[in-house]
Amino acid sequence: MECRAVRNSLSDYLDGQSIWMSDGEVRSVETHLVSCPACRNLKIELSEIRTAARELPLHTPPRAMWTRLSNMIEAEIAAENAPARQTQASSGWWSWLKSRRFTFSLPQLAGAGALAVALIVAGISGIFGTNSTTLNLTGAQSALLPEEDEIKADLERRMAAINARKVKWNPQVRAEFEQHMAKIEESLKQCRQMLQSNPKDAVHQQMVRALYNEKRQFLEDVERLKW
Amino acid sequence: MVTAMLLTNAWSSPKLPRSVAKLFSALAMGLVITAAAHSASAQTFNRTFSVAPETSELEVVNQMGTIKVTAGSSAARIVINAKQLDANTKIDAAQHAQGKVKVEVTGLGAVDLEVAVPASSNIDLLAYKGSITVTNVAGTVRARITDGNIQFTGLRSPRVEAHSTKGNVSFSGEVLPSGSYTLKSYSGRVDATLPANSDFKLSAASYRGGMDLGGFQMKFEKQTDQLVEASYGAGRASVHLWTQEGSIHLHRKP
């Protein structure tokens, strides 16, 4: 089975193999996952997104919000295209958008899902005035250790799952978590700066590794504590 | 209670004016009632599991409170005694098909756990806040806590891992020839007390707190203010000590 086929089947596979897929298809996907790290990682990421999304509180936006949004979009499009598309102005872009049918591939849906989760979390965090912990201090810099990109990707995955759950935590625990993370981030930033000035410095290489490890273990503990 | 008794004694003293004596008496009664209510609100949880000593395994996940694990007198039982100090917590204790016993506390409240295990048990402990103490165990030991101290005493384990994010970590026990001993704390102090006749390779790193390597005459492979790599004896066991903010202390036990 090719990666593309496996990726298209992953959603059904995770939904419950016996319902959506034949036994043969399930076996093919599982055989492929054993030998393909990229698809295996995608499966893990999708599972985590599903878990995180399932744990998010449901918020139904007020009807007025949709009306406002559609009015804004229509007004903006109408203003931009006024001279060229005067004849179509009465039907409106929003009506056109609603009349269309779209099909998305699994990676597109997964990406959209991840984006939606991130936006919801960011929105909710903004509403409740909490600081959402991110990996921004080290994320934008180039790798100083050969394995650094891999470490960062792993940490970002863990952090996304935790950020999605964090809104439900006790405020004090959430504040303490943020505080611990900020401290580790600060140390990491300092050690990385030292390493950047002397990339062959074994002491700072070890310190940076230890701090990444500290961060990973802390996130692992939080996951195990099931907050 | 002691304060309450002192106050009651003061009440009986003939030198005190009557109004002051009455105030003391009311305070004493209040203290007694508070103490009684506190002890009544603490729920106990007791459970015993039969285990095979050679495969005995324990996992504990606690949110807040103490975890004390001691090698007990029985070689075939794991005995759990817990004091639930908060009604919002739930304690689950179960034995898996492979024999592993898992104790898990859910809900953010304090639970103090005391567990007696066969000495050969393998142990995995996790807590958010409080403290972890392990005594006289000879199986592998892994303990992690975010905010609190970890203390290992009298261990004879081939593999030890202790990690506190915001607390001190101390180890005292034997160093087995091919053993592995990792003690870490992000902001706390790390103490290791090892027998004088140990035989180990040391890797110690403290970014800010400094290091005191005690009386061990070691052969240094790398030595800076922040990082030491050295061996003592034939260097068969591996001892790894790390703290970012705290200090490291290696003690030689005669």
Question: ipTM of the predicted structure?
Answer: 0.78
Angle at alpha carbon of residue B229, lines to B224 and B231, rounded to 5°: 135
Collapse the DSSP code of A160 into the 3-class scheme (helix H, G, I; strand E, B; otherwise coil) and give the result.
Answer: helix
Mean pLDDT of A95-117: 57
Q: Do A180 and B184 touch (CB under 8 A)?
A: no
The residue-averaged pLDDT of A183-200 equals 92
Q: In angstroms, what separates the C-alpha of A56 from chain B's closest C-alpha?
A: 19
Cβ–Cβ gap A203/B205 under 8 Å: yes
Write out residues in chain B with pLDDT < 50, as ranges. 1-14, 35-40
pLDDT in tens, A155-180: 999 999 999 888 889 899 999 999 99
CB-CB under 8 Å, A203 with B227:
yes
Q: How do the residues of chain A divide into helix, strand and coil, expressed in percent and rounded to 5?
A: 80, 0, 20
Question: Scanning every residue of chain A, which has its alpha carbon at the shortest distance from the alpha carbon of B166?
Answer: A180
How close A22 gets to chain B, by Cα (Å)?
A: 31
Q: How far apart are CA B32 and CA B38, in angstroms?
A: 10
Q: Could you tell me if A200 lies within 8 Å of chain B, comparing CB atoms?
A: no
- Predicted pLDDT of residue A25: 75
Q: Which residues of B touch A224 (CB under 8 A)?
A: 61, 126
Number of helices (H) and strands (E), helices first, in chain B?
A: 2, 18
Instruction: Answer whether 0.90 is exceeded by the pTM.
Output: no
Locate the domains of chain B by residue range: 2-41, 44-253
Q: What is the pLDDT of residue A29?
A: 79
The first and second tokens of residue B203, run together, are 């890797």
CB contact under 8 A, B146 and A224: no
**B204: exposed, middle or buried (Cβ count in 10 Å: 0-12, 13-18, 19+):** buried
Residue with tokens 């559609």: A70
Confidence of residue A99 (pLDDT cuts 50, 70, 90): low
* Chain-chain contact of A214 with B186 (C-beta, under 8 angstroms): yes
| pLDDT exceeds cutoff 90 at A26 | no
Is residue A202 scored above 70 in pLDDT? yes
Q: Which chain A residue lies closest to B63 (C-alpha atoms)?
A: A225
User: Residue A72 — very low, low, confident or very high, per pLDDT cuts 50/70/90?
Assistant: confident
From the list B106, B226, B244, which residue is nearest A211 (CB)?
Answer: B244
Residue of B nearest to A188 (CA): B244
CB contact under 8 A, B128 and A225: yes
How close is the nearest chain A Cα to the Cα of B218, in Å? 20
Distance CA B112, CA A18 (A): 44
User: Would you call A173 and B106 a contact, using CB atoms and an 8 Å cutoff?
Assistant: no
Cross-chain Cβ contact A202/B226 below 8 Å: no
Task: Provide, as residue numbers in chain A, all residues whose Cβ is less than 8 Å from the Cβ of B108.
Answer: 170, 173, 227
- Identify the pLDDT of residue A128: 45
